[in-house]
Every structure is written in C-alpha cells, then in structure tokens.
Amino acid sequence: MDNLSLLIYCKDEYEKVYSIINSFEDFVEDFVVVITGSRQSFLYKGSNDRIKIVRVKWEDDFSKPLNIGIKNCSKEWIFRIDADEEIDNKNIERIKKAIQFGNENDLYGFEASIINYIPNEFNDIDAQRVNFYKGYDKALETKCIRLFRNDKRIFYEYNIGQQIYYTINRSSLKWIQSNIEIHHWGYLEIEKKADYYIKLYNTKIKENPKEISGYLRLGKLYDIKNDFKKANEVYKEGYDNLQSEDCLLCYLLNNKKIEQDS
C-alpha cells in the first residue's frame, strides 16, 4: 500500500519495533521510527531504505516526539503504534479497508480500540474479560484515533494522555469509530511506571485544568497504588472544576473502598 506511513514510537525497545515492522513490511513503504531513548544502534535486517530513524530528546512530553514523527511521514495516511503494542493480521486488513473507506467518504480519522492487558490478579472496576490472547483475558479497553490523514491541522496535544481528538475536532474534520483493535502490553508494568506518570499528569492538570482526562487518569494511578484518599482528592478537584459525573462516580466508589479499609 503506497499511501500509508507507519509511525512507531519507542524509547529503546528495538526488538519490539523490529517485530512491528515485520508485520507491516509487505504493504507499507514508509516507516518512521521515533526514538527517545539512549541506545544508539538500530539494526533492522530488512529494507532499511524505507525506514526513517528520528531521534528526539525526551522532555517529559509524549506529544513532542510524536509530532516530530508526523512531520517525517510522507504518505497520505498515518497509522501510529507504540513499541509496547502489537497488531495482528486481521486488524492489518481492517486498516487497509478503513483507508479505502476513508478515501471514498472524505474521512480524516478512524478511532481504534486499545486492549490494555492487565495482570489477572489486578482489580479495577473498569476491567473486563476479553478474548484470551497470549496468556491474558483481562483488560481495560480505551479508545484512540490511531489512523488519520497526514494533514497539518492534525497533531498531538498534551504532555501525557496525548490525543489528536482535540485538533481534528477543532478543524471540524470528520472521523468515525472503526473495528481496528490494538493489543497493548504496557499496563502489565503500570505499577513500576505509576510514580513517573503521576508527575506528568500533575503537570498536565496544572497546565490544562479544564481537561477532564487528566483528573481521571491521575486518580486511576493513585488507585493503582491503593492510595484511595489521594485519588479522591484528585476526583473531587475534577468534579469541583468541571462538574464531571465520571469524577463523582469514581469519588463515590473510592469512598466505599476507604470505608472497607477502615
């Protein structure tokens, strides 16, 4: 397929990147690998003339390297995937069909389902049973526009919890939901990353106090650390600032957990 760029974000998980490239190599002509880590060697045993390596200094901001990556994409459509994700052949075919449909219907983006696998012993009210895959059948499902046109009006915003919904909607560009699914493994180690992500989300809320997802995701990180009182401070702040029913629900559910622990 000569109208798709594959945008791959990674820190230094090169082996996983090689696997992603292998999955798409038969039909993608333009690979853009954005690297924010310190490892120097990237050696792919394939058609390296189709692979652009873009190194970006890490500055506590996920949007910056992704937007630099977008600027290096040369094709009409972009599909973004991270090194801790994978996509199977069934969903690669769905990407092809989505692009054809998008071209025929003047669409600018497709929302995908991200299946965030979590440890089976991990308890979360939003967790659900999913089709058994590589040893896991418990996940949190989130939505994200991952297939979109290469258009200067479309780019990522926010240092964490980065999305393109904001820019694509601001320009009144049409996008729809799709049946594309991406398998995500990063949540399996979320407890190790929680403190760092808490730092980033605190920055996001400080800079963007009217953006609701910051409160919800920061509260969820405190929930993961079993700090339900701190999580409720965040949920309450989100409700007070934005009258968010989602924040209120999380606050009430956490009150029950606090009462059970006391």
User: Mind listing the pLDDT tens digit for each residue in 174-212?
Assistant: 999 999 999 999 988 888 899 999 999 999 999 999 999
Of 18-27, 181-190, 217-226, 253-262, the poorest mean pLDDT is in 253-262
The pLDDT score that the predictor gives to residue 77 is: 98
Return the SS3 of 42. coil
- Last residue within a domain, chosen from 188, 223, 247: 188
Q: What is the residue-averaged pLDDT of the chain?
A: 90
Its domain, for residue 238, covers 209-261
Whole-angstrom distance, CA of residue 155 vs CA of residue 50: 23
Q: Is residue 44 scored above 90 in pLDDT?
A: no
The pLDDT score that the predictor gives to residue 1 is: 66
Q: Is residue 250 scored above 80 in pLDDT?
A: yes
Looking at the structure, tell me whether residues 229 and 173 fall in a common domain.
Answer: no
Looking at the structure, tell me whether residues 115 and 241 fall in a common domain.
Answer: no
The pLDDT score that the predictor gives to residue 46 is: 57
Looking at the structure, tell me whether residues 91 and 145 fall in a common domain.
Answer: yes
Looking at the structure, tell me whether residues 170 and 215 fall in a common domain.
Answer: no
- Can you give the pTM of this predicted structure? 0.92
Q: In this structure, are residues 55 and 29 in contact, taking their beta carbons and an 8 Å threshold?
A: no
Backbone angles phi, psi at 108, to 5 degrees: -120, -5
The pLDDT score that the predictor gives to residue 74 is: 96
The pLDDT score that the predictor gives to residue 40 is: 65
Q: What is the mean pLDDT of residues 34-58?
A: 78
Looking at the structure, tell me whether residues 143 and 22 fall in a common domain.
Answer: yes
Looking at the structure, tell me whether residues 92 and 217 fall in a common domain.
Answer: no
* Rounded percentage of the chain residues whose pLDDT exceeds 90: 68
Q: Is residue 134 scored above 90 in pLDDT?
A: no
Q: Is residue 223 scored above 90 in pLDDT?
A: no
**Residue 204 within any structural domain of the chain:** no
Looking at the structure, tell me whether residues 116 and 59 fall in a common domain.
Answer: yes
**Residue 51 within any structural domain of the chain:** yes
Cα 118 to Cα 129, 138, 189: the distances in Å are 10, 6, 8
**Residue 203 within any structural domain of the chain:** no
Looking at the structure, tell me whether residues 169 and 231 fall in a common domain.
Answer: no
The pLDDT score that the predictor gives to residue 259 is: 78
Q: Is residue 48 scored above 80 in pLDDT?
A: no
Whole-angstrom distance, CA of residue 69 vs CA of residue 9: 8
Neighbours of 70 (CB within 10 A): 22
Domain count, the chain: 2
Looking at the structure, tell me whether residues 88 and 153 fall in a common domain.
Answer: yes
Looking at the structure, tell me whether residues 77 and 40 fall in a common domain.
Answer: yes
Q: Is residue 240 scored above 60 in pLDDT?
A: yes
Domain containing 116 — which CATH number? 3.90.550.10
* Rounded percentage of the chain residues whose pLDDT exceeds 70: 93
Q: What is the mean pLDDT of residues 85-94?
A: 95
CA dihedral 116, 119, 124, 125 (to 10 degrees): 70
**Residue 199 within any structural domain of the chain:** no
Looking at the structure, tell me whether residues 183 and 218 fall in a common domain.
Answer: no
**Residue 195 within any structural domain of the chain:** no
